[in-house]
Structure formats: structure tokens, C-alpha cells
Amino acid sequence: MILILPAIDIKDGRCVRLVQGAPGTETIYSDDPVRMAVLWRGENAKTLHVVDLDGAFEGRMKNLDTLRRMIQAVDIPVQIGGGIRTYDQVKQLLELGLYRVVIGTAAIDDPDLVARCVKDFGARKIVVGIDAKNGVVMTKGWQENTGIEAVSLALNMKALGVCRIVYTDITRDGMLTGPNFEATKHIAQKSGLRITASGGVAGYEDLVRLQELEPFGVDSVIIGKALYENRFSCQALWRANERELDDLGPTRRI
């Protein structure tokens, strides 16, 4: 079964979701991203996908203390992306206890950084985020059009030793209109990489369709808004149970 990664996007210390990544479109879902991480763990998440939106927009990490507390609060792997542009930042995050680091803008601006990180930390620890709009890669918090085709970047990263990418269709992100199945399948087939899909999941039916892409290398999916807005029927039971709990701490770990 395809692995589901709940998304926790951090902006101004709060857990938010944006529409197509655009600043000013955020909906605040929690004032405490750490508590949200524990909640998703309590709902049996196996891995978390965290984005430092402040870091993505400013080009430098901004939420290290929150990340540190999050790692201490849950007992599952956490991967992080957003504003990671240097070797020292990657090293610091992995030493902090993050399981995997997602490199986005720097994969375009400094491909040697990707090669060095893969060599020093291993391909399992380094993922490249490819965020595309109409098939073209966008960077710097999805604000800059690079003119580079997503498949071309994927192949370039594969040549550097990358084994996995997070592929996001920006036009679907936060829209609840379903993933871009065709583009996701295309980049998986052409690159031969493992793919974590991202953007647009609206409910269970989308997961069934994504599961059909597993033979092509699509083995996981990041879900944000659909989870936060309770689009899955089982969530009503989970939330009813959680309302009766005073503590969402270690006792909620599976």
C-alpha cells in the first residue's frame, strides 16, 4: 500500500496550508505544529513531511527549535524541506535527528551540493523536491520560474546519485481537485526514480488511483489539506477519541 505522509507546513510558528503555495493564502490549522505532529502520530502516521515555509521564502532555516521539539515528541521519521541551501544546513538537520532532507531550490542553483550530500550522507537521507507548474520547475518558494523541465531536472539529479524525488504539481496543491496522475506517472517512467507524489489529494479515491502507479515507482504521497479538513471517513472516529484525551503525548504512540 502506498505510504501516506501527513504534511506539516510551518509559517510564523503555526501550522498552515497555502493554496498553490502563494503567500497570503494561508489557512491556519493549529498554533502548535508539535502538537499536530503528535496528533498525526496518534492517527498512525508512519512518517511526517515538514516544510519550513518561512525558510522557503527567506532562503534560510527559521524553525529549528520547533523541529527539535517535534523530533523529541514523536517516534517516527520526520523529513524536512524549505530554505535548505547549504551543506552545513543539511549536516545540522541530520545531526538534529531529522530522517531525511528535501533539497529544492539548491538542486537548481548548486547541483554540486546535492552530489556532495548524497556522497557524504547517503541517498536515503537526501531527497530532491521538484515543484512544477505546467511541467516547468519553480523555485524560491515556488515564486521563480526556472525554465527547466521537471523530467530534465529529475534525470540530472539521478546522474548525481539521487534515488528519490518529491514531485509536486503546484497547480493542484491545496486545491482538493486530485493529483496530476498523468504528470506523476510520466516523471516516474522517464526518470526511473522513486517518487513521492504531492499536491491535490482530495480523498480515498485519489489514493486508490495513486496506488495504481506504484509499479512505476510512485510509492508514497504527501497529504495536507484533505487530512486537515477531515476528508477521510475514519477521521471522525479518531477525532472523537482524541477529544476525550487530556494528553496527546507518548501514550498515543503506536
- Minimal CA–CA distance to 188: which of 169, 170, 215, 157? 215
The answer on pLDDT for 141 being more than 80 is no
Q: Let me know if 131 is a catalytic residue.
A: yes
Query: What confidence tier does 198 reach under pLDDT thresholds 50, 70, 90?
Result: very high
Backbone angles phi, psi at 55, to 5 degrees: -65, -40
Across residues 154-169, what is the average pLDDT?
Answer: 97
- Parallel, antiparallel or unpaired: strands 78-81 and 48-52: parallel
The answer on pLDDT for 4 being more than 90 is yes
- Minimal CA–CA distance to 185: which of 167, 206, 203? 167
Taken as a whole, the chain contains a residue count of: 254
Across residues 160-176, what is the average pLDDT?
Answer: 91
With both helix axes pointing from N to C terminus, report the angle between 64-73 and 33-42 in degrees, rounded to the nearest 10: 30
Question: What does the buried/exposed string (b/e) look like for 133-150 if buried means 16 or more CB atoms within 10 Å of the residue's CB?
Answer: beebbbbbbbeeebebeb
Q: What is the pLDDT of residue 60?
A: 77
CA distance 214 to 168: 17
Asked whether the whole model's pTM tops 0.85, one would answer yes
Q: What is the pLDDT of residue 24?
A: 67
- Parallel, antiparallel or unpaired: strands 144-149 and 136-139: antiparallel
Query: What confidence tier does 251 reach under pLDDT thresholds 50, 70, 90?
Result: very low
CA distance 9 to 68: 15
The answer on pLDDT for 235 being more than 70 is no
Q: What is the pLDDT of residue 72?
A: 93
Domains defined along the chain, listed by start: 3-252 (3.20.20.70)
What lies within 8 Å, CB to CB, of 230 at 6+ separation is 236, 239
The answer on pLDDT for 245 being more than 60 is no
3-state secondary structure of 52: strand
Query: What confidence tier does 238 reach under pLDDT thresholds 50, 70, 90?
Result: low
8-state DSSP, 203: S
Is 111 within 8 Å of 160 (Cβ atoms)?
A: yes
- Minimal CA–CA distance to 2: which of 134, 195, 170, 240? 195
The answer on pLDDT for 231 being more than 80 is yes
Q: Which of 52, 131, 169, 206 does the annotation list as catalytic?
A: 131
CA distance 220 to 142: 22
The answer on pLDDT for 167 being more than 90 is yes
* Per-residue pLDDT tens digits for 19-74: 655 666 678 888 999 999 998 998 889 999 999 988 888 877 888 999 999 999 99
The pLDDT > 90 percentage for the chain reads 67
Give the rounded distance of the alpha carbon of 177 from its chain centre: 18
Angle 64-45-48 (CA atoms, 0-180°, nearest 5)? 25
pLDDT, averaged across the chain: 88
Which residues on neighbouring strands pair with residue 137, listed in sequence order?
Answer: 132
Q: What is the pLDDT of residue 242?
A: 57
Q: Let me know if 32 is a catalytic residue.
A: no
The top-scoring range by mean pLDDT among 111-120, 135-144, 223-232 is 111-120
